[in-house]
Amino acid sequence: YVSTYADFTPQATFDIKKCDLHKLEEGPPLQAVLTREEGLQYYRTMQTIRRMELKADQLYKQKIIRGFCHLYDGQEACAVGIETGINLSDHLITAYRAHGYTLTRGGTVREIMAELTGRRGGIAKGKGGSMHMYTKHFYGGNGIVGAQVPLGAGVALACKYLGNNEICVCLYGDGAANQGQIFETYNMASLWKLPCIFICENNKYGMGTSVERAAASTDYYKRGDFIPGLRLDGMDVLCVREATKFAAEHCRSGKGPILMELQTYRYHGHSMSDPGVSYRTREEIQEVRSKSDPISMLKDRMLSNNMASVEELKEIDVEVRKEIEDAAQFATTDPEPPLDDLCNHIFYNDPPMEVRGTNPWTKLKSVS
């Protein structure tokens, strides 16, 4: 017996948690409509991010991926929820936990994995690695804590200047939330009414330090002071989507910046060099996994409302796994970029002047 697609519920309405508000009369709706197509799409994307990060973990432990590597598993509902609340023509900039956004912004698993292994087919031609991936309207992962926030305000300024009704989403973590440059940026964005959504992905720990030990106020959504803010469940993709739509509408209507705090969680340590269990217990991680995993939550909603079948979701899992395996295969066999490529792509066009060592025709010799 094969159930036909006609048997499924085409769409359903779900209650979502109320947001905490700062300087706002009203917030996002308390209900969200999810169509079957959307549900399957969100499920596939979140599952792809999850599996891709687990594969990166594996390749790192095999020493195939080297250097810095910060994984996003656990936070999938943030990336997918934000992207479904804005347009691909809008702009996005984030910190170094960037693999998920590279995917939602149009990068392929293959390009991301090959970038992680430093190969020619990588999204930044193997030159950027984990923290520096870019696509159209995506200004990358950025390695310096908090540095992407003023850059994002600059992108928002360009949107305003060009009058194209586009907005910029600037993401940072709870660790970066205490950076001075963030408050300077709040000030400029507010003065100039920039179409900028500041988003603090609060995953409870800045490196190995819990938010309580790092911030005198952990109400990150209020820390823009004169900037309105909302705090929401960052583990619920629908909650994030509705809040992002609300925030985007706020920015597009010319009201200036708005701040969102997504309460989320990372399953891995801060980076691959952090086992993640010295400053928190395994039980804590397990509890989040069992009670509020973003993928399980969406899956349960869909199954209990007859929006999909178990077999169908299993099929997606199999397809995702295959895509990840193929990408990993490519990422481990694709050649590294040649040495003489090292001086290319330094400038957008021809070098403006003679700068020692940046001339693309400098012949580099490999000395081993």
Query: pLDDT of 1-47, one tens digit each?
Result: 455 666 899 999 999 999 999 999 999 999 999 999 999 999 999 99
The whole-number pLDDT of residue 349 equals 76
Between the CA of residue 183 and those of 121, 203, 344, what are the distances in Å? 38, 20, 36
* Per-residue pLDDT at 348: 74
303: amino acid identity, one letter: L
296-321 mean pLDDT: 97
pLDDT at 235 over 70: yes
d(CA 92, CA 66): 26
* Overall average pLDDT of the 310-329 stretch: 98
Give the 3-state secondary structure of residue 336: coil
**Cβ distance 18 to 246 under 8 Å?**
no
Which whole number is the average pLDDT over 144-155?
98
Given this model, what pLDDT does residue 2 score? Answer: 54
328: exposed, middle or buried (Cβ count in 10 Å: 0-12, 13-18, 19+): buried
- Structure tokens that stand for 350 in this block: 């021809």
**Torsion of the alpha carbons at 77, 147, 143 and 71, rounded to the nearest 10:** -10
pLDDT tens figures, 195-215? 999 999 999 999 999 999 999
Q: Is 215 left (phi over 0), alpha (psi -120 to 50) or beta?
A: beta
pTM: 0.93
Q: What is the pLDDT of residue 362?
A: 62
Give the model's confidence band at 347: pLDDT under 50 very low, under 70 low, under 90 confident, else very high. Answer: confident
- From CA 4, how far away is CA 299, in angstroms rounded? 19
Specify the pLDDT at position 353: 67
Question: Are 110 and 267 spatial neighbours (Cβ–Cβ below 8 Å)?
Answer: no
In the numeric block, which tokens belong to residue 342? 């090292």
